[in-house]
Amino acid sequence: MTDVQRETALYIDGRWVPGGGADLEVVDPATEEVTGVITQASTDDVETAVAAARAAFPGWAATSVAERAAVLRRVRDVIAERAEVFAGLIQRELGAPPKVARALHVDTPVAVIDATIDALERFAFTSEIGNSLIRHEPVGVVAAITPWNLPLHQVVVKVIPALAAGATVVLKPAGLTPLAAFELARAFDSAGLPAGVFNLVPGSGRVVGDLLTRHPGVDQVSFTGSTPVGRQIAGVAAETLKRVTLELGGKSASVVLADADDELFAKAVKITVANCFLNGGQTCTALSRLIVPESRIAQAEELAAAAAAKYAPGARLGPLVSAEQRKEVESYLDPASGGSDAVTVYGGAELPERGYYVSPTVISRVDPDSRLAQEEVFGPVLAILAAGSDDEAVAIANNSIYGLGGAVWGADDDAALAVAARLQTGQVDVNGGAFNPGAPFGGFKQSGTGREIGAYGIADVCEIKAVQR
């Protein structure tokens, strides 16, 4: 066995304290070996953490924007300095290929912190409407509950805007990938964040996550994960009428319009495949449905198959996070999941002997109402669908309970923007528009409620008060 990362202490009230819960093993999905052991929080530890966050709240809320920006800038610098350490931990807990571990998992959250500090320095905490002074005030204690697919990024997009607003935080990271969160706690500690402002309580969702969701000392639950668990959390949080921010699943569509020339068409297919397979297909905004004009389906199949062939499992394509997740994803590899006319145009690639890998897979001529077109796969499986017209393409794209990401490709920018406006989704990239670390992030429909990152992320953890004079 390789060396094992041991984390036996929890970060509560500015100190490292022994965890009172059971130990939990962290498995490297690329080797199937134990790569870490953490001690989980007991329910007493959760109580201590919530009390610490409550006690720290008034002092932190009273700090100036400049003070909070200065601390967050130091946190950002520590993460940037320790980027290779973070990348190494995420490589271990997620099996991420090294290049992806650095760029997607560390450099992107650092960019998000920069954008959030920038937003903080411009944020209008007070404004006026007539004789009213409008105040944005931090909500209090935010419980952050995060998933395994982006172990640092998913934490950063919740915790940094909350701290920027002047709220305090109790974090429960995903049990499958808790290691990066410990390193983040060390970064907060060395940056001089005051005691109790950030607290780390790893543990299972059913115990620690549920306790935080019920706790009267928590003012807002910010959750990212699956839609079923999000639904459950919204229900439990309703008992204390907590505010909830939910970032849930997606089934995002990449729509290629009829006027795309061959060059744009090829670019659209290539970028859609890359986006769909990013992080082993385990991103919530994955463009997992490619919608093309009926007359060009054969062209799309050929291009997508060629692009998919470049994602060799174990090299460019990482594993899925767990054996359970692999089993889930395998249930979509049969083209029948895409309806009776669906065909596999790429699949069955050679897999490494160890690790929770599946072949990158492209299934075409998929029925828009089929399981493959409707359900989030969370693995490297792309569905290609044919549309008889641009209007039909929009209707197919919107035929989903989800509305998180999306893309539009067309020769006429204005026409493509007009289609973007018709998509019922929180993010749309037109003709390859780049990820913006300062833009609001969140979903329409059952992809969630609330927005993260930048100014919208800060506003999301604020109460609004009107003071009349």
CA-wise closest residue to 209 among 170, 180, 242: 170
Q: Which residues, 6 or more positions from 111, have their beta carbon under 8 angstroms from its beta carbon? A: 437
> Considering only 68-76, 159-167, 169-177, 256-264, which stretch makes contact with ligand NAP by CB under 6 A?
169-177
Closest residue to ligand NAP: CB criterion: 205
Residues comprising the chain, all counted: 469
Contact 247, 448 (CB under 8 A): yes
Q: Cβ(412)–Cβ(89) under 8 Å? A: no
Q: Using the minimum distance from each CB to ligand NAP, give the nearer residue, 28 or 376.
A: 376
Q: Is 112 in the site for ligand NAP (CB under 6 A)?
A: no
User: In this structure, what token pair is assigned to residue 67?
Assistant: 């003070």
From 118, 187, 122, 190, select the one nearest 152 (Cα to Cα).
Answer: 187
Residue selected from 48, 149, 220, 400 as contacting ligand NAP according to rule CB under 6 A: 149
- Closest to ligand NAP by CB, 173 vs 335, is 173
On whether the CB atoms of residues 106 and 150 are closer than 8 A, the answer is no
175 binds ligand NAP (CB under 6 A): yes
Q: Does 425 bind ligand NAP (CB under 6 A)?
A: no
According to CB under 6 A, which one of 5, 213, 337, 359 is a site residue for ligand NAP? 213
One of 224, 254, 431, 446 touching ligand NAP (CB under 6 A):
224
29, 95, 109, 225: residue in contact with ligand NAP (rule CB under 6 A): 225
DSSP label of 452: B
Which residue number, 38 or 297, has a Cβ lying nearer to ligand NAP?
38
Rounded to the nearest 5 percent, the helix, strand and coil shares of the chain are 40, 25, 35
Confirm or reject binding of residue 145 to ligand NAP (CB under 6 A). Answer: yes
Element holding 76 (H helix, E strand): helix 65-81
Which CB atom, from 220 or from 431, has the smaller least distance to ligand NAP? 220
> Kind and range of the H or E element at 409?
strand 406-409
Provide, rounded to whole angstroms, the least separation between the CB of residue 321 and ligand NAP. Answer: 8
Which position among 63, 232, 344, 399 is part of the footprint of ligand NAP (CB under 6 A)?
232
Q: How far apart are CA 93 and CA 38, in angstroms?
A: 12
DSSP, collapsed to helix, strand or coil, labels residue 267 as helix
Tell me which of 43, 63, 190, 226 binds ligand NAP, using CB under 6 A: 226
Q: How far is the CB of 149 from ligand NAP (least distance, A)?
A: 5
Contact track, ligand NAP, 371-410, x by CB under 6 A: -----x-x-------------------------x------
Q: Does residue 314 contact residue 357 with C-beta atoms inside 8 Å?
A: yes
**Residues ≥6 apart with Cβ < 8 Å to 269:** 256, 290, 292, 300, 303, 304, 307
Cα–Cα distances (Å) from 255 to 46, 74, 272, in that order, read 45, 41, 10
The number of C-alpha atoms within 13 Å of 339 and in the hemisphere containing its C-beta is: 15
Q: Per CB under 6 A, does 360 bind ligand NAP?
A: no
449 scored as a contact of ligand NAP (CB under 6 A):
no
Q: Which of 147, 161, 280, 314 binds ligand NAP (CB under 6 A)?
A: 147
Of 147 and 318, the one with the shorter C-beta distance to ligand NAP is: 147
Q: Which is nearer to ligand NAP, 82 or 451 (CB)?
A: 451
Both tokens assigned to 230:
């999000």
Q: Select from 64-72, 93-101, 143-151, 460-468 the region that touches ligand NAP (CB under 6 A).
A: 143-151
Nearer to ligand NAP by C-beta: 166 or 426? 426
- Residue whose tokens read 């054996």: 323
* Residues tagged active-site: 247, 284
Could you give the CA distance from residue 245 to residue 243 in angstroms, rounded to a whole number? 7
For residue 309, the Cα-to-chain-centroid distance in whole angstroms is 26
Q: Does 45 bind ligand NAP (CB under 6 A)?
A: no
Q: Are 169 and 199 in contact (CB under 8 A)?
A: yes
Question: Does 5 engage in binding with ligand NAP (CB under 6 A)?
Answer: no
Name the minimum Å distance from CB 294 to ligand NAP.
Answer: 29
Q: Is 152 in the site for ligand NAP (CB under 6 A)?
A: no
Interacting residues toward ligand NAP by CB under 6 A: 145-149, 154, 172, 174-175, 204-206, 209-210, 213, 224-226, 229, 232-233, 247-250, 284, 376, 378, 404, 448
